[in-house]
């Protein structure tokens, strides 16, 4: 005897069947209005440069205007809150740096979880930090710097652009990996850290390419190595820290595009495909390389996995270095 299917069961089955179709439908008509990319920092940094660089071509591909909205403050937290609290419809995105992985260990008042409240669209780019030292310091290589620091424990120091900044974490990672004891000297920003390093008041700084390349070329700073696992395409003559005595060392300056959690997969996939196409275009690749940045688009799944790894690594380093949220 056949059993009749109850209406409630039929309704549930219809909902389950309709879910993938609904998600696909949400992506099919998207976008129908302008898209906002929130940059949680002031203009001029990598997250801002990348957002403004891709916006025109991405707008052409999607048939809608892409608006770049700078919302600086609290180390990137203010902009992050805006996107975390936005509707998950693909119309509010976040262009951010590695700060998103560091924030949980430096800010007590974030108001969002980078792993729970965002979903990855794509990594956009990566760049090297340059381990620079003053010309007055008698070291020519990374091995020389490590040897000097070991000979004078606690007597040398390193600069950063501020406590809890990416340059602070980079300096701490170098010291802990090398097994050396150096004093951290936080500054108000990158220009101040560079000024003190040039003057010899600080003994090394993990400097961003854009801020330091001119000083390196002018001979005002000595670049010992780059922080990426491979040599930078823009300075292939400068060795990596990994090949200079610390095998496996890696500390990238990276940038990525995120959407609010629960944004439909069809929308995420569409954004990933179009942003990736823009980043891979020869014109954009060349413009990025001129800034010392390399395009590095990946899949949403790869970015989510990478973000989780970066958050975990930052937490481990914060614990070792005694960095606590303020």
Mean per-residue pLDDT for 208-217? 91
pLDDT at 103 exceeding the cut of 60: yes
Mean per-residue pLDDT for 92-114? 94
Give strand pairing partners of 240.
226
Q: Do 252 and 127 form a contact (C-beta atoms < 8 A)?
A: yes
- pLDDT at residue 75 in the model: 85
- pLDDT at residue 12 in the model: 40
Neighbouring residues of 112: CB distance < 8 A, sequence distance ≥ 6: 80, 81, 84, 85, 118
Query: What Cα–Cα distance (Å) separates residue 70 from each residue in 93, 114, 260, 300, 303?
Result: 12, 19, 17, 24, 23
Q: What is the pLDDT of residues 262-320, one digit of tens each?
A: 999 999 999 999 999 999 999 999 999 999 999 999 999 999 999 999 999 999 999 99
- DSSP letters along 68-136, please? EEE---GGGHHHHHHHHTS-SSSSEEEEEETHHHHGGGT-S---S-TTTSEEEEEEEEEEEEEEEEETT
Q: What is the pLDDT of residues 7-63, one digit of tens each?
A: 443 444 444 444 444 444 556 799 999 999 999 998 988 999 999 999 999 999 999
Q: What is the pLDDT of residues 225-265, one digit of tens each?
A: 999 999 999 899 999 999 999 999 999 999 999 999 999 99
- 128: pLDDT confidence band, cut at 50, 70 and 90? very high
d(CA 134, CA 69): 37
Neighbouring residues of 319: CB distance < 8 A, sequence distance ≥ 6: none
Q: Give the chain's largest Cα–Cα span.
A: 93
- pLDDT at residue 44 in the model: 87
Helix axes 7-28, 265-280, angle to 10 degrees: 20
- pLDDT at residue 260 in the model: 98
Give strand pairing partners of 158.
184
pLDDT at 80 exceeding the cut of 80: yes
Mean per-residue pLDDT for 115-129? 97
Give strand pairing partners of 120.
258
Q: What is the pLDDT of residues 147-202, one digit of tens each?
A: 999 999 999 999 999 988 999 999 999 999 999 999 999 998 899 999 999 999 99
Domains of the chain and CATH, by start: 32-127+252-321 (3.40.190.150), 128-244 (3.40.190.10)
- pLDDT at residue 23 in the model: 46
Quote the radius of gyration of the chain (alpha carbons, Å).
Answer: 23
Closest of 238, 240, 258, 245 to residue 37, by C-alpha:
258
Mean pLDDT score across all residues of the chain: 91
Query: What Cα–Cα distance (Å) separates residue 291 from each residue in 46, 78, 226?
Result: 9, 27, 15
d(CA 54, CA 128): 21
d(CA 99, CA 167): 10
Helix (H/G/I), strand (E/B), else coil: 161: coil
pLDDT at 73 exceeding the cut of 60: yes
Mean per-residue pLDDT for 111-129? 97
- pLDDT at residue 279 in the model: 97
């Amino acid at each position: 005897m056949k059993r009749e299917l109850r209406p409630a069961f039929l309704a549930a089955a219809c909902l389950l069947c309709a879910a993938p179709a609904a998600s696909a439908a949400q992506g099919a008509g998207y976008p129908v209005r302008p898209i906002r990319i929130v940059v949680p920092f002031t203009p001029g940094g990598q997250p801002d440069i990348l957002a403004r660089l891709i916006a025109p071509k991405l707008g052409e591909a999607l048939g809608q205007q892409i608006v770049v909205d700078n919302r600086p403050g609290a180390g990137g937290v203010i902009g992050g809150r805006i996107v975390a609290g936005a509707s998950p419809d693909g119309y509010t995105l976040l262009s951010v740096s590695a700060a998103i992985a560091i924030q949980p260990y430096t800010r007590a008042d974030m108001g969002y979880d980078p792993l729970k409240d965002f979903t990855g669209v794509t990594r956009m780019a990566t760049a090297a930090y340059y381990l620079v030292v003053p010309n007055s310091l008698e070291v020519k290589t990374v091995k020389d710097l490590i040897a000097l620091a070991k000979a004078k424990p606690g007597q040398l120091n390193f600069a950063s652009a501020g406590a809890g900044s990416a340059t602070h974490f980079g300096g701490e990672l170098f010291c802990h990996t090398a097994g050396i004891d150096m004093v951290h000297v936080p500054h108000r920003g990158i220009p101040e850290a560079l000024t003190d390093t040039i003057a010899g008041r600080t003994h090394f700084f993990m400097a961003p390419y854009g801020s330091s390349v001119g000083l390196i070329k002018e001979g005002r700073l000595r670049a010992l190595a780059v922080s990426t696992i491979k040599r930078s395409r823009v300075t292939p003559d400068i060795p990596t820290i990994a090949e200079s005595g610390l095998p496996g060392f890696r500390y990238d300056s990276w940038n990525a595009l995120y959407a609010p959690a629960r944004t439909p997969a069809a929308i995420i996939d569409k954004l990933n495909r179009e942003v990736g196409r823009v980043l891979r275009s020869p014109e954009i690749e060349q413009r990025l390389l001129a800034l010392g940045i390399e395009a590095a688009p990946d899949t949403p799944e790869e970015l989510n996995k990478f973000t989780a790894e970066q958050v975990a690594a930052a937490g481990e380093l914060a614990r070792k270095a005694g960095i606590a949220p303020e």
